[in-house]
Amino acid sequence: MGYATSRHIEGLPAPLQRVAGALVDWIPLAIVVVLWDLISGAVVATAILPAPGTVAGKIVELFVTGQVFSHLYISLFRVVVGLGLSIIAGILLGIGMARSDPVENFFDVFLAMTYPIPKTALVPLAILWLGVGTSTAILIVFLACLLPIVLNSYNAAGNVDQNLIWSAEMMGTEGRDVLLKVIFPATIPEILTGIRQAVPIAFVALVSAELIASNQGMGYLILTSGQIGNYPRMFANIVVISAVAFVAVRLFEEVRERWLVWT
Amino acid sequence: MDGRVSISELEKVYGEGAERTKAIEDLTFEVDGGEFASVVGPSGCGKSTLLYLIAGFLDVTSGTISVDGNPIQGPGTDRGVVFQNYALFPWRTVFENVTYGLEEDGVPKEERQSIAQQYIDMVDLSGFEEKYPKELSGGMKQRVALARTLAYEPKILLMDEPFGALDQPLRESLQDQLLDIWGDLEKTVVFITHDVEEAVYLSERVMIMTRHPGTKKTVSEINLDRSGSREEIVTSDAFADYKNTVWKSLHEETQTEVTL
């Protein structure tokens, strides 16, 4: 919610503020849906841009018939595993590079080289190595999510207040324990920022991989729906995966806020 | 008494080749166990470097620093440092900050809690145990930092302009609190400051350092009658005399700074 709107809302009684705030948040989306409804059938043929009502009906159908669930599960599984692996590897790599010159020298060149490559461009290569399926999708999600997490933890771990480290050393913390007891906790806020950036990227990478290299998953459903000309179903699947990604981001932000009471 | 710091022919050089700068040169100084000694000097004179060398954060280039006759080897729990920026662990509550050193020392949980509580009470922070550092004012943060350092019972307190970021009334109240604690606990204190009045008010001896490369210029013994109130002390003639002596010696150094 913007600053200007929040100022208007502050004038309202407290219970109304929450409701009004929520409404304001959803106005842009409502406008898009209304425009979509107006354009569909009038400016653009319903065959290629089905009306929102039709798509909503398809979404209900997808869930009632249960045909979406197995695909949604496999997609979520791929996101969770790919993102999970990138979090573990990203933190280790980021902190390792920040605190050790050999590690930094070794990985710096790889990061610089892989940074500009769109990770989804590696799907054909991943198929060659891992075949069509879950492993390929996980690899692409992992690679796409790795960079934001590495870069955020790398920067933060390199900028930890030296006095914090010295204080801990003075109190008897030595060697690897400094990483665990000072550097890592001090870096948590930026690590979570990196993960926050990675969550939507994970879904982008997932769908891109599934569009090309999968026989299951939401990306596969979108592709096959389009191939058989069932555009309402294709749109329905796009809306479902977008909504899932949106909820994932919001949930993560909620968790982060609770975790970071100390910042 | 334990806690004697002996600095002998100390030299500290930063960098190499053309970048080479001598921060400290030929400095010999001794702080007795239980003594309160301040170090004042113009900015850039190496007084913080001196403190970090005593702490063991930096390596000496030549010369020795010993505690009770044993040359120091890196940081250690016989010494405790209080920084100007508090350096509290922001992810730990007040209580968890104060117990950190005890955890590292392997003190059992129950004992840890009673010791931590004792020092939190000593710095008048009872009721704030579960707060995080960000919820505290600067003065309170510095009291937590002091409690955290005292809790693991170092013999020597190394303080790097600890009250430099605080406003005058707060600084004075923390100075008095520090003097009370020093009187009760019999610690050696090495106190770095650029504030002449603060140095004279707190210390038994004040070492003035020369500017670049830093070394001992003069040492002033401060024999103040500290039985009275702050007002009686700071308005006394003796206080003014000590302050003038230290100020003049320091001023000569800052003058050279301007002409350079």
Predicted confidence (pLDDT) per residue in B30-69, tens digit: 999 999 999 998 877 788 899 999 999 999 999 999 999 8
Low-confidence ranges of chain A (pLDDT < 50): 1
Give B99's contacts (C-beta < 8 A, 6+ positions apart): B112, B113, B115, B116, B151
- Nearest CB partner across the interface for A170, out of B75, B91, B92: B75
Residues B65 and B13 in one domain: yes
Quote the mean pLDDT of chain B.
Answer: 89
Contacts of B91 in chain A (CB under 8 A): 185-186, 188, 262
Q: Which residues on chain B are in Cβ contact (under 8 Å) with A186?
A: 89-91
Same-domain status, B118 and B222: no
Where is the domain boundary, B134, B153, B172?
Answer: B153
B122 and B230 belong to one structural domain:
no
Whether residues A182 and B132 touch (CB distance < 8 A) is answered with no
How many other β-carbons are positioned within 10 Å of the β-carbon of residue B235? 11
A139 with A146: CB under 8 angstroms?
A: no
Contacting A with CB below 8 Å, chain B residues are 55, 57, 74-77, 79-81, 83, 85, 87, 89-92, 100-101, 104-105, 132-134, 148, 152
Kindly state whether residue B141 falls inside one of the protein's structural domains: yes
Residue B11 pLDDT: 86
A23-41 pLDDT per residue, tens: 888 888 899 999 999 998 8
Chain B CA closest to residue A185 = B91
Going across the sheet that includes B188-192, the strands are B79-82, B156-160, B188-192, B36-40, B205-209, B216-221
B177 with B253, same domain: the answer is yes
B147 and B200 within one domain: no
CA distance A156 to chain B (A): 14
Pairing of β B156-160 and β B188-192: parallel
Q: Which of B74, B81, B105 sits opposite A167 (nearest CB)?
A: B81
Q: How many contacts does A have with B, using Cβ atoms within 8 A?
A: 61
Query: To the nearest whole percent, how much of chain B has pLDDT over 70?
Result: 98
Q: What is the pLDDT averaged over residues B91-103? A: 95
Q: Are residues B51 and B97 in the same domain?
A: no
Domain that residue B95 falls in: 89-153
Q: List CB contacts of B33: < 8 A, sequence separation 6 or more.
A: B1, B2, B3, B4, B68, B155, B188
Same domain, B61 and B168: yes
Which regions of chain A carry the CATH code 1.10.3720.10? Answer: 63-259
B101 pLDDT higher than 80: yes
Q: B50 lies in a domain?
A: yes
The alpha-carbon gap from A261 to the nearest alpha carbon of chain B, in Å, equals 8
Q: Minimal CA–CA distance to B246: which of B225, B224, B230, B213? A: B224
**B249 and B176 inside one domain:** yes
Handedness of CA A162, A167, A173, A174 (dihedral sign): positive
Task: Give, to the nearest 10 degrees, the angle between helix A69-99 and helix A231-259.
Answer: 40
Pick from B76, B89, B134: which is nearest to A164 by CB? B89
Instruction: Check A169 against B74: CB less than 8 A apart.
Output: yes
For residues B141 and B218, membership in a common domain is answered with no
pLDDT in tens, B173-201: 999 999 989 988 889 999 999 898 999 99
Does an H or E element contain A161, and which?
none
User: Cα distance from A191 to chain B (closest Cα, Å)?
Assistant: 14
Identify whether residues B14 and B133 lie together within a single domain.
Answer: no
Note the pTM of the prediction, 2 decimals.
0.87
CATH number at residue B14: 3.40.50.300
List of chain B residues whose C-beta atoms are within 8 Å of the C-beta of residue A165: none
Of B91, B101, B132, which is closest to A171 when you measure between CB atoms?
B101
Last residue of a domain, one of B100, B124, B153: B153
**Contacts with A130 (C-beta within 8 Å, 6 or more apart), sequence order:** A136, A139
To test the contact with chain B by mutation, choose from A163, A170, A176 the residue with the greatest count of B C-beta atoms within 10 A, namely A170
> B85 and A169 in contact by Cβ < 8 A?
no
Same domain, B41 and B57: yes
Q: Dump the DSSP string for B66-86.
A: EETTEEP-S--TTEEEE-TT-
Q: Is the peptide bond before B213 cis (omega within 30 degrees of 0)?
A: yes
- Residues from chain B that touch A184, judged by Cβ atoms under 8 A, are none
ipTM over 0.95? The verdict is no
Residue B257: the pLDDT is 53
Which among B186, B195, B191 has a CA at the least distance from the CA of B168? Answer: B195
Chain A interface with B: residues with Cβ < 8 Å: 161, 163-164, 166-173, 182, 185-186, 188, 261-263
Cβ pair B81:A171 closer than 8 A: no
Q: Could A163 and B85 be called an inter-chain contact, meaning their C-beta atoms sit closer than 8 Å?
A: yes
Residue B84 belongs to a domain: no
Summarised one tens digit per residue, pLDDT across range B110-133 is 999 999 999 999 999 999 999 999
User: Minimum mean pLDDT among A230-234, B17-21, B89-93, B95-99: which range?
Assistant: B17-21
| End-to-end Cα separation, chain B, in angstroms | 43
Whether residues B138 and B196 fall in one domain: no
Nearest CA in chain A to B150: A171
Close Cβ partners of A223 (under 8 Å, ≥ 6 residues apart): A210, A211
How many domains, in total, are found in chain B?
A: 2
Write out the CATH class of domain A63-259: mainly alpha
Domain boundary among B153, B168, B199: B153
Residue B83 lies in a domain: no
CB-closest option in A163, A172, A262 to B90: A262
Cα of B223 to nearest chain A Cα, Å:
32
User: For residue A217, what pLDDT is reported?
Assistant: 92
Among A171, A173, A185, the residue with its CB nearest the CB of B91 is: A185
Instruction: Give residue-wise pLDDT tens across range B201-231.
Output: 999 999 988 887 888 788 888 888 888 888 8
Quick one: pLDDT band at residue B235, thresholds 50, 70, 90? confident
